[in-house]
A and B are shown apart, each in its own frame.
Chain A
Amino acid sequence: MTEELVPVFIMGKRYDVPSSLTIMKAMEYAGYQLVRGVGCRGGFCGACATVYRLQGDDTLYFGLACQTVVQPNMYLTQIPFFPAQRAEYDISTLQPRPERLFSLYPELLRCLGCGTCTKACPQELDVKGYMAAAMRGDIARVADLSFDCIMCGLCAARCPVGEAQYNIAILCRRLYGRYLAPRSQHLEDRLAEIRAGQFNQALEELKSLSLDELKARYKARQIEPE
């Protein structure tokens, strides 16, 4: 089967590639051995942030190279690394309070609310929305809205005032997970039981069973209903 080839311009150089390929596979088809700009190849790691433009169209588009199919006359480049600001902190001594957020990321208050970050987000997150929540000091809201962030860095790369949105977001998620999420009593109880050695005997017994006895135990397990 011969497939239709379309021209794409990788960092300005023309290559003709099969029209069905993702940007990532097109680069490999063109002869690149990828080292930067590739990780999971499945849309989870954010290594493959890519910026492109289409001929005759003045819009700048953003996407993940592993998830975006090439288009004819696409002009593209990858931004596998962006030198964004990351604050120094020790999560175990922080307090989940707005002032801490502002002192660690003072530039947060410079956010213009222009929404360029939202347009750049390949996960289609409401970045501007969570930045607004961050400015209000609403840590739980930031954690919720930013949850699907894969930290590709495109938001920071596009921000006119140099925010590091994704770093602010992970700080909020960590603060939420550690300090604000409701505690799990059943987990605490289980930990206490384990510390008290409550399961040691059961484990010793299981380890001492013969293969046949073990198989019989396994077969006799009660399965908790769905």
Chain B
Amino acid sequence: MKLIYYPGCTVKNHARNFDVSTVSSMERLDVEVEELSRWNCCGTVHCLASDNLINRVAPVTNLIRVKEAQASEFMTSCAMCYNTLKRANIDVKKRADALETLNEFMYLEETKYAGDVEVLHLLEYLRDRVTFEKLAARVKKPLAGLKVACYYGCLLVRPKEVAFDDVENPTIMEDLIRALGATPVPFPLKTDCCGAYHTVGKPEIIAERTDKIMGSAHEEQADLVIVSCPLCAYNLDFRQEDARRLNPDFHHLPVLYFTQLMALAFGCDESALRFDLHHIDPKPALAGLGLA
């Protein structure tokens, strides 16, 4: 049985490193992934106004596409897509009247949505279906000596309804990287917000956030930080120059997707890692440990 994979807009653009490392790692784990046919943008954020249904159209259309692929569940690796799709799904499942209005509005769709699709994040799929034991068994190049700060941000753990781990102190990524042979460092700011979309109009806010969050990872002596969200990745990686301007003592650290560490440990080559897409090159940190 194939696993339907929803990549998302940024994963197919600026974050192709996330895409290729996801697909390559899943191959190594014998999971056959199939990209969802005719997927569209998830909408990126969940609208919080109870009377706004129009913003549910984008996520629900994707859930319809999953049904049309004869599947009852699908996986996404992007934390923002996961959060938006999952919350829309929870919302329309809870409100039958809202779902009916949506289906009526989307009358051109041949398939009606009935709340019958489940949204999974890649991390929970790896933990619950693949298992970290199997993951560990596929490691060709253990990431020995690599100290990793696991950054969750907001979208994997908040609100409570979408969290697949502890809201205040999640450890699923730490468990994953232990299976790869790396060492997680304590990271008090792992669920602190990176400033998200303020990167567009108020980059000074991101500079402050990046300085704090990456500074904390550096204090804990991490070699790098891993993430699951392309917006966090952009802010924490590409905004490091702004953080440096704000704080001359700021220390640059590479930011990777957790899937890139998997691909690296599974022995995938550079085409599955795409380190060329990073602002802070991860290679020096990895080369020091004989990993790149």
Task: State yes or no: do A and B come from one complex.
Answer: no
> Which B positions have Cβ atoms within 8 angstroms of A?
none
